[in-house]
């Protein structure tokens, strides 16, 4: 992953949102607004109750430099998701039609595994796709703090979050790492079943920006503390959507925000025959989006190499999720 501006590499520079809420309320935790009693065993869109269904906890060195640092970040991958993107790179664990009882675990075991990686040098804990598991995420954070641990906490989210949920996380999340997937409602419906994604994500990102601003504060270890990094994955055939996402950030937030422009799109098996999603990015598409980024004045952040589509496809059937993909080193928890 290359910095946008090499001179400033990396360090350049609810209503129902409390942890206990799924224990007693109808779930409106995310924009799906299912209004089911998860505590009573009812499932909504995300098919997740109050349990800890976690596919993997491992040291990940392939994130943006201030996120991973040298040692890596302890990433916690929740199963299921409140978006069902047809091209999801984590499809093995994110599909709501699959139950994944093999990944059911308990809070003490989650904390034990995270602490093991903290003892191996991780200084941050990243929650990946936690939008439907905010109460579980909160309980993990509180349990770690209760044990005297003080890693920085990263929320690596798809951006489909209620603004109120983000407001409620102000004291718990140090670094927001949201996607901005779409600024095109029709595309958001076609690919993710969420036509309201553009306005929902816009409000969520504005709240993240309100909390963290565009500064990316770094400690002596080179790792970020409070901050915001917005990711955008360029999709094949959707250059105009990518440009619209960048324009939203430039016009509604700031060109000072750190951007992570991802070119790693790789077709998963179920879209291999799709007319556009069935291929990787063309160089012209990649260059056109990069040029828009420069034209808009972004100077902070990172751009993935076009060739990275072979390097970032996880395999949750392996103990080491990214082994064999060339995505840096990965330490297994055992
Ligand atoms: S968290 Fe799950 S059950 Fe709750 S509103 Fe979102 S999708 Fe529905």
Whether 330 maps to a domain, the answer reads no
Nearest CA to ligand 1 atom 4: 27
Contact 83, 158 (CB under 8 A): yes
Lowest-confidence range among 38-47, 196-205, 271-280, 318-327?
318-327
Which residues line ligand 1 at a C-beta cut-off of 6 Å? 27-30, 32-34, 36, 44-46, 48, 82, 132
The pLDDT of 269-296, averaged and rounded, is 96
Whether 107 maps to a domain, the answer reads yes
- What's the CA-to-centroid distance between 87 and ligand 1, angstroms? 21
CA separation for the pair 139, 159 (Å, rounded):
21
- In three-state secondary structure terms, 13 is coil
Residue span of the structural domain in which 241 resides: 2-323
Whether 328 maps to a domain, the answer reads no
The pLDDT of 3-11, averaged and rounded, is 40
Structural domains in the chain (count): 1
Whether 332 maps to a domain, the answer reads no
Whether 274 maps to a domain, the answer reads yes
pLDDT value, residue 17: 46
Lowest-confidence range among 218-222, 308-312, 326-330?
326-330
Question: Could you tell me the CATH number of the domain that includes residue 115?
Answer: 3.20.20.70
Whether 334 maps to a domain, the answer reads no
- What's the CA-to-centroid distance between 81 and ligand 1, angstroms? 9
pLDDT value, residue 219: 67
Whether 297 maps to a domain, the answer reads yes
CA separation for the pair 312, 305 (Å, rounded):
11
* Bridge partner residues of 179 (DSSP): 231
Indicate the pLDDT class of residue 70, thresholds 50, 70 and 90. confident
Structure tokens at 60: 């990940």
Question: 220 CB contacts (<8 Å, ≥6 apart)?
Answer: none
Whether 333 maps to a domain, the answer reads no
Contact 184, 232 (CB under 8 A): no
Would you say residue 313 has pLDDT above 60? yes
CA separation for the pair 194, 185 (Å, rounded):
8
pLDDT value, residue 310: 67
pTM: 0.88
> DSSP letter at 30?
S
Higher pLDDT, 100 or 170: 170
């Amino acid at each position: 992953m290359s910095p946008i501006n090499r001179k400033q590499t990396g360090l350049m520079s609810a209503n129902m949102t409390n942890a206990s809420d799924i224990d007693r309320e109808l779930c409106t935790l995310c924009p799906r607004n299912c209004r089911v009693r998860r505590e009573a065993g009812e499932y909504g869109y995300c098919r997740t109750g109050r349990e800890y269904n976690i596919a993997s906890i491992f040291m990940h060195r392939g994130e943006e430099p201030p996120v991973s640092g040298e040692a890596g970040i302890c990433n916690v991958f929740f199963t299921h998701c409140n978006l069902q993107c047809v091209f999801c790179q984590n499809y093995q664990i994110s599909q709501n039609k699959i139950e994944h009882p093999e990944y059911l675990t308990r809070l003490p075991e989650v904390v034990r595994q995270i602490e093991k990686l903290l003892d191996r040098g991780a200084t941050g804990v990243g929650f990946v796709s936690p939008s439907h598991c905010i109460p579980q995420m909160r309980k993990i954070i509180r349990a770690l703090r209760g044990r005297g641990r003080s890693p920085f906490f990263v929320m690596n989210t798809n951006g489909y979050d209620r603004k109120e949920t983000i407001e409620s996380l102000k004291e718990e999340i140090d670094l927001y790492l949201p996607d901005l997937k779409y600024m095109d409602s029709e595309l958001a419906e076609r690919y993710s079943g969420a036509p309201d994604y553009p306005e929902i994500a816009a409000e969520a990102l504005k709240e993240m920006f309100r909390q963290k601003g565009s500064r990316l504060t770094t400690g002596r270890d080179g790792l970020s503390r409070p901050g915001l990094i917005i990711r955008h994955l360029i999709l094949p055939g959707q250059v105009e959507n990518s440009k619209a996402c960048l324009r939203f950030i430039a016009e509604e937030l700031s060109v000072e925000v750190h951007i992570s422009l991802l070119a790693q799109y790789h077709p998963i098996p179920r879209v291999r025959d799709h007319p556009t999603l069935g291929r990787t990015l063309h160089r012209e598409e990649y260059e056109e989006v990069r040029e828009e980024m420069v034209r808009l004045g972004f100077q902070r952040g990172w751009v993935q190499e076009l060739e990275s589509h072979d390097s970032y496809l996880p395999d949750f059937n392996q103990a080491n999720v990214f082994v064999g993909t060339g995505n840096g080193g990965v330490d297994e928890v055992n």
